[in-house]
Structure 1
Amino acid sequence: MAEVAYFTKEGLEKLKEELQQLKTTGRANIAKAIAEARDKGDLSENAEYDAAKEAQGLHETKIAKLEETLANGRLLDESKIDTSKVLALSIVTIKNTKNGAKMTYQLVAESEADLKAGKISVASPIAKGLLGKKVGDKTEIQVPAGKMEFEILEINR
């Protein structure tokens, strides 16, 4: 059974747009590439045809995965998010207790994660260590660089 993923409205719309593009423009481009390769002659020794057919298979797999993600995706109403503790879609300001560095992240679905935009996946080590915590809580999180301790300063939506 597929895993349920929670999305913001913009994240869900972005996935729907990507799926639509893959089904229309993407499929048309692959069909064109297959037709061009077929026109070049003998299919048994046609590497371009084989590559185009393989690309078609990968493209259809991507479409199927996106459709599954959308079928199991749930839209979260951000106005109803509890800000007393860290949950999916919470915007959390944390402080590294060692160096005093402050960071603000929004915990989002894996497909919406974008570190440059301050959005981290709920499946990431930092997000997992923050989930369920309250303002003022300190948590030690195992990250690739070792253990880090963070204090939760603020939770918003």
Structure 2
Amino acid sequence: MEKTPITMRGYETLKKELEHLKRVERPANIKAIEEARAHGDLSENAEFEAAKNRQSFIEGRIGELGYKLASADIINPDELPKDRAVFGCTVLLENIDTGEEIKYQLVGPDESDIEKKRISVSSPLGQAMIGKEPGDEVKLNAPGGKRLYELIEIL
């Protein structure tokens, strides 16, 4: 089984979602299926069909989360070197064309959230940054064209 890097915060988030699905969503959906069955003819019962579809989604997500947690490799960013870009670190980049500075944290695929400035190490920009040191250029072939950044600082 291939291990997937994740921070403790990301691991705990997945774990909470799994517990919520098992303790809240699954029992509530079972109740919804029972109520829909009580309405009679199942062949034309939209509520029953919706509840069965929801059950399928819940069970699939429970399986997916179980696999992700089992294959998680929890990494503490505080224990990693600060001299180069690695998983878990926060970097300050400058867009060489515009001069705009942006800060990102490099995280695992299950934790990425661009609105929170958290990008996956497996994303094109994340891959381009791994191993770079302050002062290095980071080249990215984006759908909108090539972009060039300078890694200013590892925070």
Q: Normalising by the residue count of structure 1, what TM-score does the alignment of the two structures yield?
A: 0.93
Structure 2 gap ranges (5+): none
Corresponding letter in the other structure for 1:93 = L
The separation in 1 between residues aligned to 2:43 and 2:96, in whole angstroms, is: 64
Identity, in percent, stands at 38
1:99-125 CA distance string (max 9 Å, x none): 111111000112211222221111221
Is 2:118 the partner of 1:155?
no
Deviating beyond 3 angstroms after TM superposition, the runs of 4 or more aligned structure 1 residues are none
User: Does the 8 Å contact 2:85/2:133 carry over to 1?
Assistant: yes
Q: Deviations over 1:115-138 (max 9, x none)?
A: 222211112211111111111111
Aligned-pair Cα RMSD in Å: 1.3
**Which one-letter code corresponds to 2:40 in the other structure?**
G
Distance 1:49 1:139 in 2: 53
Q: Size of the alignment, in residue pairs?
A: 155
Show the 5 A alignment for 1:128-147. Answer: 128-147=127-146
TM-score by length of 2: 0.94
Whichever residue aligns with residue 18 of structure 1, its letter is E
Gaps of 5+ in 1: none
* CA–CA distance in structure 2, aligned partners of residues 137 and 78 of structure 1: 21
Q: Please give the alpha-carbon distance, in whole angstroms, between the structure 2 residues aligned to 1:60 and 1:42.
A: 25
